[in-house]
Structure 1
Amino acid sequence: MPPERGTGAHGADAHYRALESLYAAAPINQLFDSKLEITGSGTSRIRFMIDQQQFHAAGAAHGTIYFKMLDDAAFYAANTLVTDRFLLTTQFNLLFTRPLGEGPVVAEGRWINGQRRVLIADARLIDASGEEVARGTGTFMRSRIALATLPGYRAG
């Protein structure tokens, strides 16, 4: 899948690194031991750790961590295709298949469809044993917020 019109391979790579920087600069991400990697056009990966601070009363990861990481992975996969505007999540559906305990987890995001106003992307959570524990699909739309105006987005 090619980068959005108007960006060459170098421009796409600069955009990917700027998205990674944007993720790292977001205040919410200071609460999580996580790192975003843009792996190519329409794909992303977030590596993160679950610890007991993110558990619900029954001793497993709370659904908020599932949602946050699935939404972020899908969002950033979609935003690789949009170089000028920040996307907004307009809908997100989750499927929980297994509880998560402590340890490393990977969220893998993948663009599915759309490039103009609305984009669709999905993501899955993979636990340390390689099992899929959750999946989500989101709809994202272009906002009026220019990426270049956001603290942390540093292209080039």
Structure 2
Amino acid sequence: MSQSHFDRLERMYLSANVNAMIFDTTTIKIEDGSAQIGLTIHEKYFHALGAIHGSVYFKLLDDAAFFATNSVVTDVFVLTKSFEIHFRRPVDSGVLRAVGLLKKSTENSFIAESELLNEDGKVVAHGSGEFVKSKVKLTPKIGYK
């Protein structure tokens, strides 16, 4: 894989409408078979009990595993076929880091895992999923530029 592929994926992630709308303080670093996403916690991510909503955990974990997978797929966009998460502890402040790693791949199917860590390096959630190749080419039209 090439650094230019990783750079294009990073720009695609950061320019996605959903990320611009929801996450205003996100970082991403993609390497061969891995991805790290950082997010500074704000109250706008909280549920009624004053900690981040499960949807934030899911998005960060899925995105990290997804981009770890797409790091090794250079022609098409991959899709999440299934993803399971396990919550360990609530988070109400600081910076979170999602770390995704590609674990297994076949011709069209990939298994990736991810962990969500707080500022102290403690795992607050983890997940794993299956990803498959789509028919959507990686092009500037979808932000891959």
TMscore range, shorter length: over 0.9
Cα pair distance change 1:46/1:118, threshold 3 Å: same
Kindly tell me the number of residue pairs found equivalent between the two proteins. 143
User: Residue 26 of structure 2 aligns with which residue?
Assistant: 34
What is the DSSP-based 3-state SS (H/G/I as helix, E as strand, rest coil) of the residue aligned with 2:114?
Answer: strand
User: What TM-score do you get using the length of structure 2 for normalisation?
Assistant: 0.95
- Look up the equivalent residue of 1:64 and give its one-letter code: S
- Look up the equivalent residue of 2:97 and give its one-letter code: V
Runs of 4+ more than 2 Å apart: none
* Mapped contact 1:24–1:152 kept (Cα < 8 A): no
User: Residue 51 of structure 1 aligns with which residue?
Assistant: 42
Among all aligned residue pairs of Structure 1 and Structure 2, give the percentage whose two residues are the same amino acid: 38
After superposition, residues 5-154 of structure 1 pair within 5 angstroms as 12-30=2-20, 31-32=22-23, 33-38=25-30, 40-154=31-145
Structure 2 unaligned regions, length at least 5: none
What is the DSSP-based 3-state SS (H/G/I as helix, E as strand, rest coil) of the residue aligned with 1:150?
Answer: helix
- Look up the equivalent residue of 1:27 and give its one-letter code: N
Task: Write out per-residue CA displacement over residues 1-27 of structure 1, whole angstroms, 9 at most, x where no aligned residue.
Answer: xx3xxxxxxxx1110000001001100
- Look up the equivalent residue of 1:36 and give its one-letter code: I
User: What TM-score do you get using the length of structure 1 for normalisation?
Assistant: 0.88
Q: RMSD of the alignment, in Å?
A: 1.0
Structure 1 unaligned regions, length at least 5: 4-11
- Look up the equivalent residue of 2:46 and give its one-letter code: F
